[in-house]
Homo-oligomer: A and B are copies of this chain.
Amino acid sequence: MVITSEKNEFIKNIKKLSDKKYRYEKKLFFVEGKNSVFEALKSGFEIVHLLLAEDFNVDFQIERDKIVFVDEKVFKKISDTVAPQMIMAVIKMPKWEVNDIVKEGGFYVILDEVQDPGNVGTIIRSADAFNVDGIFTINNTVDIYNPKVLRSTMGSIFHLPVVNDVEPSKLFDVLKRNGIRILSTSLKAEKYIYDFDISKNAALIFGNESRGVNKYLDGFIDDSFKIPMDGMAESLNVSVAASICLYESERQRLIK
């Protein structure tokens, strides 16, 4: 059977997952496109439904009754993109626990009120590339299950723990108990990033696109370093700044 009506209850409920409140009520999110869906299937995430166009001819490693066929018109209705790839997975949100993720010697990223979905998704993708042990978002950072965030992660959301909307003082407490330094980038810092050991035992915090890290968090930050910039630009895009730090951390681990 193929669902051909946008008014189908099942379809209407999937479309509602574009809304953050509904997502968290149902503890479900969706990803679109071959790449993301394949990464989801390979991961330990629990797939609830796999939506396919009828002519999608691939043998998926998934229980038959989870596959739902949907026609092109309906796909266009629920998709977050202009040209949907006719493949979508509805997935259960994992239950990450900060305590289980943070370990001595680890390397983490904290996102503090980062607002742009593309920035958050790109940071998750870079964190995956450079072996970050976990990402925590705090203070109204855009939801990690926002379709635009997920699209920018290019499937990396399934490769490392990304924990949404953590209570900051609890997070900092767990990090400190495990000997993890909380570090930020600052234009006023004295040390350059490449003279600063960020190979491990560190959580790097990145803040809002215009305002940076929230001032009230200053007391929690152990130290700061700067990215050298001797051109005229006053700052870097936050996903670029974060990715440079993650690369530098990887470089330091590799040359050791």
Q: Which residues of chain B come closer than 8 Å to A243, judged between CB atoms?
A: 236-237, 240, 243-244
Structural contact, A228 and B240, CB atoms closer than 8 A: no
Chain A 137-173, CB-CB to B under 8 Å as 1, else 0, gives 0000000000000001011100110000000000000
| Copy total for this chain | 2
* A128 → B minimal CB distance (Å): 4
Chain A 240-256, CB-CB to B under 8 Å as 1, else 0, gives 10011001101100110
Instruction: Knowing A194-B255, A239-B240, A255-B194 are in contact, say whether A125-B233 is a contact too (CB < 8 A).
Output: yes
Q: Which residues of chain B come closer than 8 Å to A244, judged between CB atoms?
A: 243-244, 247
The distance in angstroms between the C-alpha atoms of A254 and B230, with both chains bound, is 10
Q: Which residues of chain B come closer than 8 Å to A194, judged between CB atoms?
A: 251, 254-255
Q: Which residue of B lies closest to A158 (CB)?
A: B232
Structural contact, B237 and A250, CB atoms closer than 8 A: no
Structural contact, A240 and B126, CB atoms closer than 8 A: yes
Structural contact, B152 and A231, CB atoms closer than 8 A: no
Chain A 212-234, CB-CB to B under 8 Å as 1, else 0, gives 00000000000000011111111
In the complex, whether A79 has a CB less than 8 A from a CB of chain B is no
Structural contact, A236 and B125, CB atoms closer than 8 A: yes
Structural contact, B128 and A231, CB atoms closer than 8 A: yes
In the complex, whether A131 has a CB less than 8 A from a CB of chain B is yes
The distance in angstroms between the C-alpha atoms of A126 and B131, with both chains bound, is 23
Q: Which residues of chain B come closer than 8 Å to A130, judged between CB atoms?
A: 228-231
In the complex, whether A118 has a CB less than 8 A from a CB of chain B is yes
In the complex, whether A129 has a CB less than 8 A from a CB of chain B is yes
A118, A152, A244, most chain B CB atoms within 10 A: A244
In the complex, whether A96 has a CB less than 8 A from a CB of chain B is no
In the complex, whether A192 has a CB less than 8 A from a CB of chain B is yes
Q: Among the listed B128, B152, B160, B254, which residue makes an inter-chain contact with A228, where contact means beta carbons less than 8 Å apart?
A: B254
Q: Among the listed B128, B129, B192, B233, which residue makes an inter-chain contact with A129, where contact means beta carbons less than 8 Å apart?
A: B233
The 9 closest A-B CB pairs, nearest first, are A129-B233, A128-B233, A129-B229, A159-B232, A240-B243, A128-B231, A131-B231, A244-B247, A129-B231
Q: List 14 A-B contacts (CB under 8 A).
A: A126-B236, A126-B240, A129-B235, A131-B231, A154-B233, A154-B235, A159-B231, A194-B255, A228-B250, A228-B251, A228-B254, A236-B243, A239-B240, A240-B240
**Residues of chain A whose beta carbon lies under 8 Å from any beta carbon of chain B:** 118, 122, 125-132, 152, 154-156, 159-160, 192, 194, 227-237, 239-240, 243-244, 247-248, 250-251, 254-255
